[in-house]
Amino acid sequence: MKIIKVKDYQEMSIAGAKIIKEEILKKPNLTICFATGSTPIGMYQALTKMYQHKELDFSKVTSFNLDEYVGLGQSNPCSYHYFMYKNLFNHININKNNVHLPNGIGDIAKNASDYEKLIASKGGIDFMILGLGTNGHIAFNEPGSKIDESTREIKLTQSTIDANKIYFDNENDIPKTAISMGVGSIMKAKKIILLANGIKKADAIHNMIEGPVTSNCPASFLQKHHDVTVIIDTEAASKLKNS
Ligand code: PGA
């Protein structure tokens, strides 16, 4: 893994956006997989600025997303579909026909297999953005997930529900499951960047980079991927011993 250490959230966001810019400049029809959560919001704002300054053109980009809550429709403000439009897609010139998110409504097993087929039909993911859960999850692959799993319905752990309840008016409204790309789907991406900031991510960063490769920390499977860049701020890097 390549590790880029930066000072703070702002520097992390700019560093991530610059890498994405380089990738789109190299390949204007890049297939990119986006992440949700508080981590990438600053990076999406930086990408929006680059677009406004005419440094970036998203018109040929195809997008996928890692995950979606089961039971939340696209117009639900807590859905990841809604998040992506609010934080990025409404502000850039991506072709809405090229935007794809997992569907958390209806027959989830069928939606999951259709999603994998759709990704394959576009030639796979060129570039993927990941955040990191405090429990070591990537997308919604909670501890216990295996390295070879594909998109599926996953039961959220209490720690994930606790971390995400700030986005919901009422804890009881938080879906108990999500449809998420699996670690196997993630490992197929040609290039990955993972962003993490803040002291609460320090243990997960240490386990991911310096711990054993284990289902207990699904992010540690990324040690087996050939092209991962980790962008972390000082606090998130504070428990690394040798990196
Ligand atoms: P966060 O979530 O960006 O809101 O910290 C990251 C994750 O759970 O993957």
**pLDDT tens per residue, range 17-49:** 999 999 999 999 999 999 999 999 999 999 999
> CB within 8 A of 197, min separation 6: which ones?
8, 9, 12, 39, 232, 233, 235, 236
Q: How far is the CA of 14 from the centre of ligand 1 (A)?
A: 18
| Ligand 1 close to Cβ of residue 38 (< 6 A) | yes
Contact 161, 171 (CB under 8 A): yes
Q: Looking at the DSSP assignment, which residues form a beta bridge with residue 180?
A: 67, 152
Active-site residue, from 23, 116, 142, 149: 142
Query: What SS3 class is residue 241?
Result: coil
In this predicted structure, the answer to whether residue 153 has a pLDDT above a threshold of 90 is yes
Angle, CA 53 vertex, CA 48 and CA 57 arms, to 5°:
65
On the question of pLDDT at 174 being above 90, the answer is yes
Q: Which ligand 1 atom is nearest residue 195's CA?
A: 3
pLDDT of residue 171: 85
Does the beta carbon of 132 lie inside 6 Å of ligand 1? yes
- pLDDT tier for residue 243 given thresholds of 50, 70 and 90: confident
> What is the residue extent of each domain of the chain?
2-177+197-237
**So what's the pLDDT on residue 192?**
98
Catalytic site includes residue 149: no
Residue-wise pLDDT tens digits, 107-133: 999 999 999 999 999 999 999 999 999
How far, in Å, is the centroid of ligand 1 from the Cα of 167?
12
**Spacing of C-alpha 124 from chain mean position:** 16
Region 191-216 average pLDDT: 98
Of the candidates 115, 127, 139, the one whose C-alpha atom is nearest the C-alpha of residue 39 is 139
Let me know if 173 is a catalytic residue: no
37 lines ligand 1 (CB under 6 A): yes
Q: Which fold has domain 2-177+197-237?
A: Rossmann fold (3.40.50)
**Closest by CA position to 87, among listed 130, 39, 124, 55:** 39
User: How far, in Å, from the CA of 199 to the mean position of ligand 1?
Assistant: 13
